[in-house]
Structure 1
Amino acid sequence: MSEVKRLPVGWADATLTEIAQIFMGQSPASSLINNDKKGLPFFQGKTEFTNVYPLVNKYCEEPSRIAEKDDILLSVRAPVGPVNIAKVRSGFGRGLSAIRGYTGIDHKFLFYQLRSIEKHIESLGTGSTFSGINRDKVESLPINIAPQKEQIRIIYKLEELFSELDAGVKELKAAQTKLSQYRQSLLKSAVDGSLTEQWRAENIAQVQETGEQLLARILKQRREQWQQQKLAEFAEKAPPPPKNWQDAYPEPVQPDTATLPKLPDGWVWASLSQLVDLIQIGPFGSLLHKSDYIYGGIPLINPTHIKNLKIEPDYNLTITESKLSDLQKYVMSEGDIVIGRRGEMGRCALVTDKEDGWLCGTGSLFIRVLKSLNPEFYTWVLSSKRTKDFLAEFSVGTTMQNLNQKILHNIPVPLLPENEQAAASDILHSEYDRIDKQIEDIKVALKLSEAQRRNILKSAFTGQLVPQDPNDEPASVLLEKIKRERDTLAKMPKPRKPSKLKKKGDLMNTLLEVLTAEDDWIDAQDAFQKCGIVDGTSTDRIEEIYAELRNLEKSGKIQIQRQGDFDQLKLITQDVKED
Structure 2
Amino acid sequence: MRNDPKNRSLPVGWVRAKVEQVCLVNPRTFAVPLSDNCEVSFVPMAAIEAETGVIDLSQIKLFGDVKKGYTKFSDGDVLFAKITPCMENGKIAIANGLKNGSACGTTELHVLRPFPGLSREYLRFFLLRTDFRKQAQRNMAGTAGQLRVPAWFIEQAHIPLPPHPEQRRIVAEIEKQFTRLEAAEAALRRIEVNLKRYRASVLKAASEGKLVPTEAELAEAEGRDYEHAEQLLERILVERRARWESQEKRRGKYREPVPPDTSDLSELPAGWIWSNIGEAFEVFVGATPRRSRPEYWGGDISWVSSSEVAFNRIKNTRECTTEEGLNNSSMDLHPPGTVLLGMIGEGKTRGQVSILDISACNSQNSAAIRASQSKLPPEYLFYYLWGQYDVTRQIGSGNNQPALNKSRVQEIPFPVPPIGEQHRIVAEVESRLSIIQQAETTVEICAKRVGRLRQSILNQAFSGQLVPQDSCDEPASTLLERIKTEREAARSSKASRPRPTRRRSRK
Do Structure 1 and Structure 2 share a fold, with TM-score over 0.5?
yes
Query: What does the per-residue CA deviation read over 1:222-274, in whole Å, with 9 as the maximum and x for residues that have no partner?
Result: 56666x669x999xxxxxxxxxxxxx863311111111111111111112222
2:387 is matched with which residue? 384
1:194 is matched with which residue? 210
Closer, same or farther: CA 489–86 of 1 in aligned 2, 3 Å: same
Contact 1:46–1:75 under 8 Å retained in 2:
no
Contact 1:338–1:365 under 8 Å retained in 2:
yes
Closer, same or farther: CA 296–216 of 1 in aligned 2, 3 Å: closer
Superposition deviation, residue 368 in structure 1: 0.9
Tell me, in whole angstroms, the C-alpha distance in 2 between the residues paired with 1:404 and 1:461: 57
Contact 2:276–2:411 under 8 Å retained in 1:
yes
2:283 is matched with which residue? 279
Superposition deviation, residue 105 in structure 1: 0.8
2:25 is the alignment partner of 1:9 = no
Tell me, in whole angstroms, the C-alpha distance in 1 between the residues paired with 2:118 and 2:393: 55
CA RMSD of superposed structures (Å): 2.9
Contact 1:309–1:347 under 8 Å retained in 2:
no
Contact 1:25–1:96 under 8 Å retained in 2:
no
Contact 1:45–1:77 under 8 Å retained in 2:
no
Tell me, in whole angstroms, the C-alpha distance in 1 between the residues paired with 2:240 and 2:133: 64
Query: Which amino acid letter does the alignment assign opposite residue 262 of structure 1?
Result: E
Tell me, in whole angstroms, the C-alpha distance in 2 between the residues paired with 1:400 and 1:259: 27
Tell me, in whole angstroms, the C-alpha distance in 1 between the residues paired with 2:333 and 2:243: 24
Tell me, in whole angstroms, the C-alpha distance in 1 between the residues paired with 2:475 and 2:460: 19
Q: Where does 1:489-508 land on structure 2 (aligned, <5 Å)?
A: 489-493=490-494
Tell me, in whole angstroms, the C-alpha distance in 1 between the residues paired with 2:490 and 2:225: 89
Superposition deviation, residue 296 in structure 1: 8.3
Tell me, in whole angstroms, the C-alpha distance in 1 between the residues paired with 2:254 and 2:452: 66
1:575 is matched with which residue? none
Contact 2:17–2:161 under 8 Å retained in 1:
yes
Superposition deviation, residue 455 in structure 1: 0.6
1:118 is matched with which residue? 133
Query: Which amino acid letter does the alignment assign opposite residue 462 of structure 2?
Result: F
Q: Where does 1:150-229 land on structure 2 (aligned, <5 Å)?
A: 150-197=166-213, 201-202=217-218, 204=220, 205=222, 208-222=226-240
1:429 is matched with which residue? 430
Superposition deviation, residue 210 in structure 1: 1.5
Query: What does the per-residue CA deviation read over 1:99-135, in whole Å, with 9 as the maximum and x for residues that have no partner?
Result: 1111111110111111122222222212223111222
TM-score, normalised on structure 1? 0.73
Closer, same or farther: CA 393–459 of 1 in aligned 2, 3 Å: closer
Contact 1:303–1:347 under 8 Å retained in 2:
no
Higher relative contact order (CA 8 A, sep 6+): 2
Superposition deviation, residue 342 in structure 1: 0.6
2:247 is the alignment partner of 1:257 = no
SS of the residue aligned with 2:374? coil
1:339 to 325, 341, 354: 341
Query: Which amino acid letter does the alignment assign opposite residue 40 of structure 2?
Result: L
Query: What does the per-residue CA deviation read over 1:399-418, in whole Å, with 9 as the maximum and x for residues that have no partner?
Result: 32222221122111011111
Instruction: Structure 2: state its 5+ residue gaps.
Output: 30-37, 498-507
2:32 is matched with which residue? none
2:489 is matched with which residue? 488
Tell me, in whole angstroms, the C-alpha distance in 2 between the residues paired with 1:225 and 1:100: 76
Instruction: Structure 1: state its 5+ residue gaps.
Output: 27-37, 235-247, 496-579
Contact 2:331–2:362 under 8 Å retained in 1:
no
2:72 is the alignment partner of 1:71 = no
2:450 is the alignment partner of 1:449 = yes
Query: Which amino acid letter does the alignment assign opposite residue 63 of structure 1?
Result: K
Closer, same or farther: CA 399–249 of 1 in aligned 2, 3 Å: closer
2:33 is matched with which residue? none
Query: What does the per-residue CA deviation read over 1:468-502, in whole Å, with 9 as the maximum and x for residues that have no partner?
Result: 0111111001101111121122224389xxxxxxx
Tell me, in whole angstroms, the C-alpha distance in 1 between the residues paired with 2:40 and 2:342: 45
Query: What does the per-residue CA deviation read over 1:367-403, in whole Å, with 9 as the maximum and x for residues that have no partner?
Result: 1134331111111112222x641x3444277232222
SS of the residue aligned with 2:25? strand
Closer, same or farther: CA 225–308 of 1 in aligned 2, 3 Å: closer
SS of the residue aligned with 1:14? strand
Q: Where does 1:457-536 land on structure 2 (aligned, <5 Å)?
A: 457-493=458-494
SS of the residue aligned with 1:264? coil
Query: What does the per-residue CA deviation read over 1:192-230, in whole Å, with 9 as the maximum and x for residues that have no partner?
Result: 11112377645654662011222233345556666x669
Superposition deviation, residue 42 in structure 1: 2.1
Tell me, in whole angstroms, the C-alpha distance in 2 between the residues paired with 1:371 and 1:59: 62
Tell me, in whole angstroms, the C-alpha distance in 2 between the residues paired with 1:365 and 1:25: 56
Q: Which stretch shifts more, 292-301 or 483-492?
A: 292-301
Contact 1:207–1:419 under 8 Å retained in 2:
no
Contact 2:297–2:325 under 8 Å retained in 1:
no
SS of the residue aligned with 1:330? coil
SS of the residue aligned with 2:370? strand
Closer, same or farther: CA 46–99 of 1 in aligned 2, 3 Å: farther
Query: What does the per-residue CA deviation read over 1:352-381, in whole Å, with 9 as the maximum and x for residues that have no partner?
Result: 1xx32x221131220113433111111111
- Seq. identity, %: 26
Tell me, in whole angstroms, the C-alpha distance in 2 between the residues paired with 1:191 and 1:42: 50
SS of the residue aligned with 1:194? coil
Query: Which amino acid letter does the alignment assign opposite residue 126 of structure 2?
Result: Q
Tell me, in whole angstroms, the C-alpha distance in 1 between the residues paired with 2:212 and 2:20: 68
Tell me, in whole angstroms, the C-alpha distance in 2 between the residues paired with 1:365 and 1:346: 10
Query: Which amino acid letter does the alignment assign opposite residue 426 of structure 1?
Result: A
Contact 1:21–1:102 under 8 Å retained in 2:
yes
